[in-house]
Amino acid sequence: MRHIIIILTFISLAGCAAALVPYTSDPKQKISDAYWLFDQNQRALPAQKLILEAIEIYKKNNDKSGLAQAYVAYAVFLRSYAVNRYSEHYEETGFNSGNITFKDRFDASIEYLEKSSAIYEEKQEYDNLTNTYLHMGFTYLANNNIPKVCDMYMKSLDMNKLFMDKNPDAKLNLGGFKSYKDYINNEMQQAKCPA
């Protein structure tokens, strides 16, 4: 009998959308959990829920930096493999209560990144702008819009230069590249950007 209860408990938890993710009211943790869910576990449904909850909390608290981070997370989510994996579901239901269609997810991803970049511009957070424009490039690449990919990679490089000018001692994790410029040049070559 005891084994049956344990098995039933496990089955009910496995069916839970965010099983194995402890509840938190902290929006930053919600974003972190969402990345873990969709990026490492391809669990799009609970990830979207957590990101949208975080967006609402950041709006309610008027936390612009947090809101910008949540917008980036939602943009990355919209172009993620996890979303593609559940394309049939999202083609039927859309995203964000049906406000975004599966077909328009890349455009929506860019819109969220633009919202984020507006906040980061206002706050002069050039490190975050570097990443936001890089993500725009990745989104355009996923949508096969190569001219925009190249533009966003160059904007990302420009923002990185501004950041490094203001923070010359900053250390970046570039995955083996000597400089951010080398990294961007590699990305541009892979995307077949004109020289």
Cα 99 off chain centre by: 18
Burial degree of 28 (CB within 10 A; 0-12, 13-18, 19+):
middle
Which pLDDT belongs to residue 19? 57
Position 9 scores a pLDDT of 45
DSSP 8-state code for residue 95? B
Q: Which amino acid is at 91?
A: E
pLDDT for the residue 172: 87
Using a 10 angstrom Cβ sphere, with 0-12 exposed, 13-18 middle and 19 or more buried, the burial of residue 47 is buried
Calpha distance 88→96 (Å, rounded): 16
Non-local (6+) Cβ contacts of 150 within 8 A are 137, 188, 191, 193, 194
* Ranges of each domain in the chain: 25-113, 124-195
∠ at Cα 10 (7, 11), nearest 5°? Answer: 85
Q: How far, in Å, are 4, 117, 128, 129, 157 from residue 123 at the CA level?
A: 56, 10, 10, 10, 18
Q: What is the pLDDT of residue 126?
A: 97
pLDDT along the chain (195 residues), means of 10: 47 47 92 96 95 98 97 98 94 90 96 98 97 98 97 98 96 91 97 91
**Predicted local confidence at residue 96, as pLDDT:** 84
List all residues 6 or more positions away from 124 whose beta carbon is below 8 Å from its beta carbon. none
Helices (H), 36-145: 44-60, 64-78, 81-85, 87-93, 105-123, 126-142
**Contact of 110 with 136, CB cutoff 8 Å:** yes
